[in-house]
Amino acid sequence: MRTKSQNRKIAKAILYVVLLFIAFLMLVPFAWMLSSSLKLDKDVFIVPIQWIPENPQWSNYVKIWTKIPLAKFVLNTAKLTIIVTLLQLFTSSFAAYAFAKLNFRHKNTLFLAYVATIAVPWQVYMVPQFMMMRSFGLNDTHLAIICLQAFSAFGVFMMRQFYQGIPDELCEAARIDGMSEYQIYGRIMLPLSKPALSTLTIFTFVNTWNDFLGPLIYLKTESKKTLQIGLRMFIGQNSSEYGLIMAASVLSLLPVLIVFLSLQKYFVEGIAATGVKG
Amino acid sequence: MAAKNRTVDPDVVQQKLAKLNLQLKELEGQMEKATDPRKRRKLIAKITAVEEKIKQAKTGERMTRQQRRDLIAYSFIAPNFIGFAVFTLGPVIFAFILAFLEWDGNNPIQFVGISNFLDMAGNSRFIASFKNTIVYCIATVPLTLAAAIGLAVILNQKIKGRNFFRTVSFFPYVASLVAVAAVWNMLFSPAKSGPVNMLLYTIFKVPANELPKWAASPDWVMFTIVLFSVWKNMGYYMVIYLAGLQGINAELYEAASLDGAGTLQKFRYITWPQLQPTTFFVTIILTINCFKVYDIVYMLAGGSNGVLSESAIVLVYHIYEEAFRNWNLGYASAVAMVLFLLVLAVTLIQFRGEKKYAN
């Protein structure tokens, strides 16, 4: 008996060592980022690594705002992210209600159009999409990015999946009580679908905030650029300003970190739900 | 309701009704003869539609009930569908056509048949990008899968600080790529002073002239990219595996314990087989995501001007450079078709597999 419990203790100990090692691997780049963001460029690569800088250069965090139009980049990104997320939430939950709870002509054909395009990666049609946007005069505008991101088939698909889990009887009862379809959507379905809406919010928020290729193709004027391409541009032009690059990186991570930590539960549940159902 | 009523000529209504009744009789006659259940169902639908029309003609309303329902449904779909049709569906269809055209965006479009596809075979950058994409896939998929399943199994145990460890493993996935790629480029700096190279030099005693040049060396660049993407993405797939693990019946493990099975045996004979649907699904999305790789490569190997050499170029980058640098729009779309076919092949495998794993 004793050896068995001893074995178990050893196994537990090994487990924790492995875990700490993994956590170390995951966190080291972030720790290094934070620590370097407070250093002078010449001190970044000094060995042994100084994890806590002796002489923290808080000025890096001040300088970066004047070195590049960081405030403008943040503002652009925030604007795009908020508009895209709101549009995505509203239009996909609205459309998903019809697909999940209403019967109408051409329902299957229309839904098939959505399903079929989910299987086509954006990279396959980004070229004709760009040419189309350009012919609309939307090249180098924020509107192009909004149109590109806000009407994804994924959102409709996900919300429909969720609505199908809500019993039809609920809608039937409301119809008998004389509610219109819009009222059923607004007063019954929306409040019930908070978890799905939260998941969609986080996915859209993180994707739009971190999107790179879209803004890279469309946004040419510096004052219109998003945080990601602005940051990348700065890195390309000043690749040896390590301290500033890291300070900007830390700043670009913060919003996502905050959103992620506060809504983490929905994020994990969302992946699990879409993942298991396939 | 009165507002909706139309003042119509009663003769016209009578004519209409007679015609509709005739249709109805004919359909009912067909119905009696029909035996095939699918045909019967179709006929029933037609009969209901005609009956609705008769009702409409009698009451004189502008729309049948079904038509009104359709309109309401369309009003729900419209805001999303219009945007979707214009900005997604249209370009998707256009992409297929564009692959057979020659166009630089300004001059008139020319139809060139399959010559864009023939050009690919002679383009060394296309061949390199195709090869690299496949190599990246073959390396990344199993490594990510193994890392994800390992993490999930460990983090499914009852341990202290489990949520902390889960959050930590997941965070690289949500962190912005530009920022983490910048750190990686510094950590894996090709110089001897790069932190990772320093570690290899001081602790593992790798001679200074044999230190890997990571993203700067044609031999190491793919390895660096694969390593980075495994690190960045494994948290995501871990979450899917965690959900899969929670679906395994605990009684299976209890029974195995009673039979004296060890940890490894339990994994081999319970966890792994039970997770097969999850593994299948993860492999599919992982493979598709690997085909679409672009930004990771661009940021790790693109240098300051974002130009990829043949040792690191991938399909999506090839599409990007041909379309937006050289304005060979038709050719770029043809390359996009190759990407599409790769993804389609995997999707078809997925459909077949889903049938198998549905129950």
pLDDT tens profile A88-130: 999 999 999 999 999 898 999 999 988 888 888 999 999 999 9
DSSP secondary structure string, B291-349? HT--HHHHHHHSTTTT---TTT--HHHHHHHHHHTS--HHHHHHHHHHHHHHHHHHHHH
Q: What's the rounded mean pLDDT across residues B220-229?
A: 94
pLDDT given for residue A277 in this prediction: 39
What's the angle, vertex CA A131, arms to CA A127 and CA A133, rounded to 5?
115
Please tell me the distance in Å from B1's CA to the nearest CA on chain A. Answer: 16
Could you tell me if A164 and A100 are in contact, meaning their C-beta atoms sit under 8 angstroms apart? yes
Portion 237-276 of A in contact with B at CB < 8 A:
237, 239, 242, 245-246, 248-250, 252-253, 256-257, 260-261, 264, 267-268, 271-273, 275-276
ipTM for the assembly:
0.86
User: Closest by alpha carbon to A58, among A191, A243, A274, A275?
Assistant: A243
Cα A254–A255–A257 angle (5° rounding)? Answer: 65
pLDDT for A212-266, tens place per residue? Answer: 999 999 999 989 999 999 999 898 888 888 889 999 999 989 988 888 888 777 7
Contact B286, B141 (CB under 8 A): yes
* Cβ neighbours of B182 in A, within 8 Å: 33, 231, 235, 245-246, 249
User: Which residue of chain A has the CA closest to B263?
Assistant: A11
Angle (CA) B31-B35-B37 rounded to 5° is 90
Q: How far apart are CA A82 and CA A92, in angstroms?
A: 15
User: Residue B230: closest CA among chain A residues belongs to which residue?
Assistant: A26
A127–B333: do the CB atoms touch at under 8 Å? yes
> In which region does residue B60 sit, left (phi positive, over 0), alpha (psi from -120 to 50) or beta (all else)?
left
**According to the model, what pLDDT value does residue B329 have?**
93
pLDDT value at residue B354: 77
| Nearest chain A Cα distance for residue B10, angstroms | 30
Identify all chain A residues contacting B319, using CB atoms and an 8 Å cutoff.
123, 126-127
Per-residue model confidence (pLDDT) at position A196: 86
Question: Per residue in B264-293, is it b (16+ CB within 10 Å) or e — as a string?
Answer: eebeeebbeeebebbbbbbbbbbbbbbbbb
Beta-carbon contacts of A230 under 8 Å, excluding residues fewer than 6 positions away, are A68, A69, A70, A73, A222
Separation between Cα atoms, residue A210 and residue A267, nearest integer Å: 16
Residue B212: DSSP 8-state: -
Name residues whose C-beta falls within 8 Å of residue B265's C-beta, 6 or more positions apart in sequence.
Answer: B256
Scanning A89-128 for CB atoms below 8 A from B yields: 90-92, 94-95, 97-99, 102-105, 107, 110, 113-114, 117, 119-121, 123-128
Determine which of A238-242, B6-10, B215-219, B348-352 has the lowest per-residue pLDDT on average.
B6-10
The answer for residues whose C-beta is within 8 angstroms of residue B116's C-beta and 6 or more apart is B99, B100, B102, B330, B331, B333, B334
Q: Domain locations in chain B?
A: 2-62, 119-357
| Closest chain B residue to A226, measured at CA | B178
How far lies B292's CA from each of B177, B288, B320, B336, in Å?
Answer: 15, 7, 12, 10
Name residue B206's beta-bridge partners.
none
Is residue A202 within 8 Å of residue A158, measured between CB atoms?
no
Place of tokens 């195995």: B256
- What's the whole-number mean pLDDT along residues B37-66? 80
Q: Are B296 and B177 in contact (CB under 8 A)?
A: yes
Phi and psi at residue B347, in whole multiples of 5°? -65, -40
Query: What 3-state class would DSSP assign to B211?
Result: coil
Residue A2 has pLDDT above 70, yes or no: no
Neighboring chain B residues of A231 at a CB cutoff of 8 Å: 178-179, 182
Q: To the nearest whole number, what is the mean pLDDT of chain B? A: 88
CA distance B46 to A35: 72
Helices A194-210 & A242-262 angle (0-180, nearest 10): 170
Could you please report the per-residue DSSP string of B243-303?
HHHHTS-HHHHHHHHHTT--HHHHIIIIIHHHTHHHHHHHHHHHHHHHHT--HHHHHHHST
Partners of A134 on chain B (C-beta within 8 Å) are 105
Lowest-pLDDT range, A1-15, A229-243, B110-124? A1-15
Query: How much is the pLDDT for B4?
Result: 46
Is B175 close to A253, i.e. CB distance below 8 A?
yes
Contacts of A130 (CB under 8 A, 6+ apart): A139, A217, A218, B323, B324
Consecutive H or E run containing B102: strand B101-102
Rounded mean pLDDT, B284-292? 92
Nearest CB to A127: which of B84, B247, B319?
B319
The rounded distance, in Å, linking the Cα atoms of B148 and B240 is: 9
CA pair distance A218, A221, nearest whole angstrom: 9
DSSP A224: G
| Minimal Cβ distance to B236: which of A99, A185, A271 | A271
Residue range B294-309, pLDDT digits in tens: 989 999 988 777 788 8
Q: With beta carbons less than 8 A apart as the criterion, state whether B179 and B187 touch.
A: no
- 3-class DSSP assignment, residue A42: helix
| Chain A, window 147-186: residues with a beta carbon less than 8 angstroms from a chain B beta carbon | 147-148, 150-153, 155-156, 180-181, 185
A128/B95 Cβ within 8 A = yes
pLDDT of B340 strictly over 80: yes
Q: How far apart are CA A95 and CA A91, in angstroms?
A: 6
Cα gap B125→B118, rounded to integer Å: 14
Least CA distance to B152: which residue of chain A?
A19
Task: Choose the mutation target among A86, A115, A124 for the interface with B, i.e. most B CBs under 10 Å.
Answer: A124
**Closest CB from A98, A110, A121 relative to B343:** A121
Taking only the tens place, the pLDDT of each residue in B52-92 is 778 777 777 777 778 888 899 999 999 999 999 999 999 99
Rg (chain B; Cα; Å): 31
A174 to chain B, closest Cα gap in Å: 16
- CA end-to-end span of chain A: 45
Instruction: Tell which residue, A80, A123, A114, A112, has the closest CA to residue A229.
Output: A80
Mutate to test the interface with A, among B72, B183, B184 (most CBs of A within 10 A): B183
The CATH class for the domain spanning B119-357 reads mainly alpha
Q: Cα–Cα–Cα angle for B303, B305, B311, nearest 5°? A: 50
Helix A194-210 to helix A227-237 angle (10° resolution) is: 30
CA distance B148 to A119: 24
Query: B283-288 contacts: CB < 8 A, separation 24 or more?
Result: B283/B141, B283/B145, B284/B346, B284/B347, B284/B349, B284/B350, B284/B353, B286/B140, B286/B141, B286/B144, B286/B145, B286/B237, B287/B137, B287/B141, B287/B346, B288/A121, B288/B343, B288/B346, B288/B347
Interface test with A, best of B87, B192, B200, B274 (most A CBs within 10 A): B87
- Contact of A22 with chain B, judged by CB distance below 8 Å, is answered with yes
Quick check: A180 and A171 in contact, CB under 8 A? no
